[in-house]
Amino acid sequence: MIHLYSKEVEKILLKVQKPGRYTGGELNSIIKDKDKVDVRFAFCFPDTYEIGMSHLGMKILYSQFNSYDHIWCERVFAPWTDMEGLMREKNIPLYALESGDPLTEFDFIGFTLQYELSYTNVLNMLSLAGIPLLSKDRKELNNIVVAGGTCTSNPEPLADFIDIFFIGEGEEVDLEVIELYRKCRNENKSKDEFLKLAAQIKGVYVPSLYKVDYNEDGTIKSFAPTNGAPETVEKRIIMDMDNVYYPYTFVVPLVEIVHDRAVSEIFRGCIRGCRFCQAGFLNRPVREKSKKTILEQCKKLCESTGYDEVSLSSLSSSDYADIVGLLTCLTEWSDDCGVSLSLPSLRVDGFTDDIMSKIKTVRKSGLTFAPEAGTQRLRDAINKNVREDELLKTCHVAFSGGWTNVKLYFMIGLPTETLEDVEGIAKLGQAVVNEYYRCEYRTKGKGVNVTVSASSFVPKPHTPFQWEAQDTIETILNKQKHLKESITTKKITFNYHAANTSFLEGVFARGDRKLCKVLLKAAEKGFHFDGWNDCFDFDAWMQVFEECGIDPAFYASRKRSFDEILPWDFISYGVSKEFLKAECERAYQSVTTPNCREKCSNCGAACYKGGVCVEKRQNMVH
């Protein structure tokens, strides 16, 4: 039996923490004969093994690509700093886990972009592999660097580095591009010719084919395609969730990862339309999998992996049209074979007795709800559509059911927020504590612990708040302080996010191409793992911005006018800009918008002619 990693790697493995992250060889990992495959695809996750291996998108595409005999898709993760240090010292290039081969041997190097602060990891991984960072410096038709994932909704800050961005869902477009590559290579076409042809595929964005001009104030003057590339890049979307590829097996990690369990995706999209939520707008319309498909997939996954826990994945699980029916048929199977079900992303108004009784697990860990804002006015402004009495009722149900830990997620820095709204967070936390002691059937002899977590709001592209100014670091710090002082009980644990991390996230979330030089400089300075407190150095970042002559506040803290050309305007997710503007106006007036099942608000996503847009609407009684 061969060792997957090289002798050089073996020499350093015992000198690093958790070496099991760097060896491959897990159950169900796919080994092929490299001489018998036609296309080699390195699927790179720009974070640690534990984070990347928990990511469903990677599992889906890994299995799907490998279901073709001529493609070998392998996994690559960002080595932690100790491993990176030794790899650089011993000149070991970044390698893929299945073959142990360096990334330079791959046709495609694909990144999934889930988080803006992982951009430096993308560049650092290329650099560790000895691959030129800039797209223009990679001239041959190999080592094509592609990227997909949520953050491609504004790909511009990475425009100089990535050859091809995939917009929307990857199951179809990725394979179309791989096929085009094979054809171009057979016909001895150049990389440039390949890119021009690729740009014609729906859902593909080739940044080098677009020309951007700027006004004197730094805003965009024009954004124009060249070489026949489309003016608008349309997202790709899978409409038939029952027949789209879904893996029947996962790679089972040898070391513990963040989410070490089987996952079944029950639907994509979200009916709610919370105005801050990017995923809710990017993934419209809601498309559900049938109960039969979900059950089938859960069974197969547990059988092939040995997992005894299944998590149902979606943006808001309790919004699955027939959630009780689904849980009933799943629990019939899971009770039978000792599998436990977990249901993340539960809405406050979705946690009913019915659901609770179905997901009872042996150990009662905490329940998590996300009211997002402290007062009704602000919850209406962000269209969260959750009322305080609903939250308290839900907590009552949970407390009666034996739970004593409740986590509440909030955001501070939301548009139109005042200090009163911030105080409202503390008051709501207190109200939950009081509800516990009012609850007759609470666990006797035990106190309650309410965790209040406040993250800082970052305006994201393609949402109604895409024009908003993000709160400055000072404002956030003040609000955090104010909130901390408003909490008077020890039953509430208060957590909050570092304000300067959110600031940097905001800069890259709504950045343009001018930020490429900032990222390049950051990469040259060896920045990595900016999403991790151990590595994030805010002052060093500000230094880089200064050296590049770029003011980060231009991107984060500036309110845009509705008629400004935004860097991501050329991408269409099916939701019209008019709708986003109207939603923004409604936010200012604290007027809510009904969810997709109650009433269609004509966002534009009906253009995909499927999902919830064509669902028969029941006359729901409210």
Partner 1 sequence: MKNVRIWFTKEYECKYISHLDLNRCMLRAVRRGGLPIWYTEGFNPHPFVTFPLPISLGIDAKRECMDIRIVDDTYDITQIPSAMNKYLPRGIQVFDATYPQLDPKYICFAKYSAQLSADGVEDKTLKEKILDLTKLDSVIIQKKSKAGMKDIDVLPYIKAMDFKFDNTCSFEVILPAGNTKNVALPLVIKAIENNLSLELNYSITKLDMFTEEMKQFL
Backbone angles phi, psi at 410, to 5 degrees: -130, 165
Contact between 266 and partner 1 by CB under 8 A: the answer reads: no
Q: Does 92 bind partner 1 (CB under 8 A)?
A: no
The only residue of 6, 13, 342, 607 in contact with partner 1, by rule CB under 8 A: 13
Pick from 306, 325, 402, 526: which binds partner 1 (CB under 8 A)? 306
- Nearest CA to 439 among 487, 386, 398, 390? 398
Counting beta carbons within 10 angstroms of the beta carbon of residue 561, is it exposed (0 to 12), middle (13 to 18) or buried (19 or more)?
exposed
Burial of 109 (0-12, 13-18, 19+ CB in 10 A): buried
Least CB distance from residue 90 to partner 1, whole Å? Answer: 10
Between residues 362 and 620, which has the closer beta carbon with respect to partner 1?
362
Indicate the residue among 243 and 361 with the shorter CB distance to partner 1. 361
The answer to the question of residue 25 lying near partner 1 (CB under 8 A) is yes
Lay out the sheet containing 262-265: strands in order across.
Answer: 262-265, 309-313, 340-342
| Smaller CB separation from partner 1, 249 or 416 | 249
Shortest gap between Cβ of 76 and partner 1 (angstroms)?
16
- Region near partner 1 per CB under 8 A, out of 11-19, 62-70, 141-149, 407-415: 11-19
Among 35, 187, 188, 363, binds partner 1 (CB under 8 A): 363
By CB under 8 A, residue 307 contacts partner 1: yes
- Distance in angstroms (rounded) separating the CA atoms of residues 561 and 400: 49
Helix (H) or strand (E) holding 196: helix 191-198
Region binding partner 1 by CB under 8 A among candidate stretches 7-15, 46-54, 375-383, 528-536 = 7-15
HEC per residue, 204-227 = EECHHHEEEEECCCCCEEEEEECC
Q: Binders of partner 1 among 240-259, rule CB under 8 A? A: 252, 254-256
DSSP alpha helices (H): ranges in 472-562? Answer: 473-486, 499-509, 516-524, 538-548, 553-556
Eight-class DSSP state of 277: -
- Per CB under 8 A, 362 contacts partner 1: yes
| Binding flag, residue 5, partner 1 (CB under 8 A) | yes
From the list 26, 176, 390, 569, which residue makes contact with partner 1 (rule: CB under 8 A)?
A: 26
- Could you tell me the CA-to-CA distances from 289 to 271, 297, 320 in Å, in that order? 15, 11, 9
Q: How far is the C-alpha of 600 from the C-alpha of 597, rounded, in Å?
A: 7
By CB under 8 A, tell whether 220 contacts partner 1.
no
Site size for partner 1, by CB under 8 A?
29
Residues 573, 543 contacting (CB under 8 angstroms): no
**Segment lying near partner 1 (by CB under 8 A), choices 8-16, 528-536, 540-548, 581-589:** 8-16
Our CB check for partner 1 shows the closer of 193 and 308 to be: 308
CB of 209 to partner 1, least distance (A): 43
Nearest-approach distance from CB 307 to partner 1, in angstroms: 7
Minimum CB distance to partner 1 smaller for 307 or for 410: 307
| 338 contacts partner 1 (rule: CB under 8 A) | yes
CB of 110 to partner 1, least distance (A): 24
Using CB under 8 A as the binding rule, whether residue 311 contacts partner 1 is answered as: no
Q: How far is the CB of 72 from partner 1 (least distance, A)?
A: 18
- Quote the CA–CA distance of 88 and 93 in Å, as a whole number: 8
- Told to check if 445 binds partner 1 by CB under 8 A, we report no
Stretch that binds partner 1, among 18-26, 202-210, 397-405, 553-561 (CB under 8 A): 18-26
Judged by CB under 8 A, which of 35, 95, 263, 305 binds partner 1?
305
Cβ proximity to partner 1: between 253 and 594 the closer is 253
Q: How far apart are CA 371 and CA 391, in angstroms?
A: 8
Q: Which stretch binds partner 1 (CB under 8 A): 146-154, 304-312, 319-327, 497-505?
A: 304-312
Distance of closest approach, residue 50 Cβ to partner 1, in angstroms:
12
The answer to whether 366 contacts partner 1 (rule: CB under 8 A) is: no
Measure the CA dihedral 59/108/153/560, to 10°.
140
Q: Provide the 10 A C-beta neighbour count for residue 3.
A: 12
Sole window of 59-67, 137-145, 270-278, 298-306 interacting with partner 1 (rule: CB under 8 A): 298-306
State how far the Cα of 121 lies from the Cα of 528, in Å rounded to an integer.
5
Angstrom distance (rounded) from CA 547 to CA 299: 55
By the rule CB under 8 A, 403 interacts with partner 1: no
Q: Which residues partner with 204 through β-bridges?
A: 166
CA 14 – CA 555 distance, rounded (Å): 44
30 binds partner 1 (CB under 8 A): no
Note whether 245 and 239 are within 8 A (CB): no
Q: How far apart are CA 586 and CA 580, in angstroms?
A: 10
Q: Does 404 bind partner 1 (CB under 8 A)?
A: no
* 302: contact with partner 1 by CB under 8 A: yes
Residue 342 binding partner 1, by CB under 8 A: no
The structure tokens listed for 162 are: 């990535």
Q: Which residues contact 582 (CB under 8 A, 6 or more apart)?
A: none
Q: Kindly tell me which of 18 and 427 has the beta carbon lying closer to partner 1.
A: 18
* Class of residue 371 by CB neighbours under 10 A (exposed 0-12, middle 13-18, buried 19+): buried
Position 282: which residue type?
L
Single out the segment in contact with partner 1 by CB under 8 A; choices: 10-18, 373-381, 469-477, 580-588.
10-18
Q: Which is nearer to partner 1, 214 or 333 (CB)?
A: 333
Residue 85 binds to partner 1 (criterion: CB under 8 A): no
Q: How far apart are CA 236 and CA 39, in angstroms?
A: 23
Catalog residues that contact partner 1 under the rule CB under 8 A. Answer: 1, 3-5, 10-11, 13-14, 18-20, 22-27, 252, 254-256, 302, 305-308, 338, 362-363
